Amino acid sequence: MLSTSMTNINNKRFDILGVKISAIDMADAWCIIDTLVAKKQKGYVCVCPVSTIVECNRNEDYRNLVNNAAIVTPDGMPTVWIARARGLKHVERVYGPDLMLAVCQLCEQKGYKQYFYGGTEKVLAKLQVSLKSKFPNLKISGAYSPPFRELTKEEDIAIVNRINTAAPDILWVGIGAPRQDFWMVNHQAKLNVPVMLGVGAAFDFLSGVKPQAPRWIQRSGLEWFFRLCTEPHRLWKRYLIGNSIFVYLLVKSLFRNKS
């Protein structure tokens, strides 16, 4: 649970189907994260595309978890369009990979250390090379590739000790939503880390292992189609079924509010 001082850093939110998304742009996110690290206040950041909103409507525990995050970023263009339709004209897409680059720039400037949890060893190696090429003075205190299964109690204690020994200011978690979000909440009290950010596929994109959609596709709101074409077997349910459910829930909510 967030402290009162934590929530007062920036509590402007807008609601989409019960999910309270931060009314921010990238500069706001950058500023909030900087404040948290500087004050050594704990907070976790959830990125919020359409798929997260749909999952939150299936799972009340997940919705509560997301709504208690320090930042819930408007990660998908539909969330941005809805915010602007409600008069929040300054809201911009705060996309996981872009957020990661912006925060790495902050870390380089301020000397903040970071740690990467998630991905394969190959992805983590490529990710660190890629980030260091962009930010030569970036301080990386460690990285860990967890197995693709639940960790044993002993393994979990070991990774907590490993991260705490590395003493990062920022912990990047890239094990996919909603798993990464539950992981952050379950480990927040155990880890001496001010800020944890769950950034999904950002490790894969920024390492160059998976292709990123061109900017014009991202801005058009069709990135989901690009990703579907690149990984149809893995993502067809998320986008074809999930997006349809999102539209249905929005329309249902609209008619309910008018009645």
pLDDT greater than 50 at residue 49: yes
Share of the chain above pLDDT 70, in %: 95
Banded pLDDT at 224 (limits 50, 70, 90): confident
Tens digit of each residue's pLDDT (9 = 90 or more) over 122-144: 999 999 999 999 999 999 999 99
Among 127-131, 192-196, 252-256, which is the least confidently predicted range?
A: 252-256
Cα–Cα separations (whole angstroms), residue 56 to 61, 228, 241:
8, 21, 15
Banded pLDDT at 29 (limits 50, 70, 90): very high
pLDDT of residue 236: 87
Mean pLDDT calculated for residue range 102-113: 97
Q: What residue segments make up the domains of the chain, in order of their start?
A: 4-207, 215-258
DSSP 70: S
Please state which of the four CATH numbers 3.30.70, 3.40.50, 1.10.3470, 3.40.1350 is assigned to the domain occupying 4-207: 3.40.50
Strand partners, 71: 45
DSSP 149-209: SPPPHHHHHHHHHHHHHH--SEEEEES-TTHHHHHHHHHTTT---SEEEE-TTHHHHHHTS
pLDDT of residue 7: 43
